[in-house]
Amino acid sequence: MEFVKKHYEKIILSAVLAGLVGALVVLPFMISRDQEEIKRLGDEYTTPKVPPLPALDLTRQKSASERLLARANFDFFTTNKLFNPMDWKKGIDGNPIKIKTGNETGAGAAVVTKITPLYLVVTLDQVTTNELGARYVIGIERQAAATPALRQKQKRFASMDDRKKDAFTLVEVKGAPENPSELILKLADSGEMVSVSKQKPFKRADAYAADLKYDLDKKTFIGRRENSSISFGGEDYIVVAIDPDEVILSAQSNQKHTTLRYTP
């Protein structure tokens, strides 16, 4: 007891030092534990456990990207006419007419319905005989003549003594003079040698006449010849040429020629 009284301060100091040493020994373990706890709490609150997101479906985006890369073929002519606008014109009945080729109205819309040859016809109409010999009545029909009067059949009297006429010259009589098998004539306009008999006249196409129609105005033109005039679609035209398979019109406003084909 006496020892304790004399050395209690040392004992207390020793106990304190022992406690400090014990604390120093335990402190690293406590620090390690606290660090683990802090790490656990940090992981728990800063990195919550969530399920992973499903894989993205990029099918639509991929398809759109492929369409953008593909070459586009747009038709802006036959459908909406974006860069080639279509013309329209008003018809005589007030209805609109779609202009596709330019021949829906005007001269290009006219139609040739018939082309008729206009002949020079030479016929042996009659043979007469008298004391002077045989005389021949020869008919001349000029269907292409300029006036209707000249288109009528005209008769000419010829004989071997009176050979030359305004339209022909009698060159030869074959067979019996009073009943010839044929006459050989030389035409005055061309110098052509032709043969005529009662059974076989001579015919030569000198020109043509055409029938036309223009449906938009409901007009028809019958027997038009070269240099004749016609009017339709608000325009005046001259028939400048007619061939067996076509008619050529000339607009009087601008002299533009239009060729109309004829298909029988």
The pLDDT of residue 126: 94
Identify the band that residue 28 occupies on the pLDDT scale cut at 50, 70 and 90: confident
Instruction: Summarize pLDDT for 94-110 with one digit per residue, the tens.
Output: 666 666 655 667 788 89
Which H/E stretch holds residue 24?
helix 2-46
- pLDDT of 133: 87
Structural tokens at position 82 = 């974006």
Domain boundaries, the chain: 1-36, 102-114+207-261, 118-206
The chain-wide mean pLDDT, for the chain, equals: 84
Whether the per-residue pLDDT at 184 is higher than 80: the answer is yes
The CB density around residue 262, as the number of other CB atoms within 10 Å, is 19
Q: Which amino acid is at 236?
A: D
**Does 183 have pLDDT greater than 80?**
yes
Residue 65 binned pLDDT confidence (cut-offs 50, 70, 90): confident
At 148-168, the pLDDT tens digits run 999 999 999 999 999 999 999
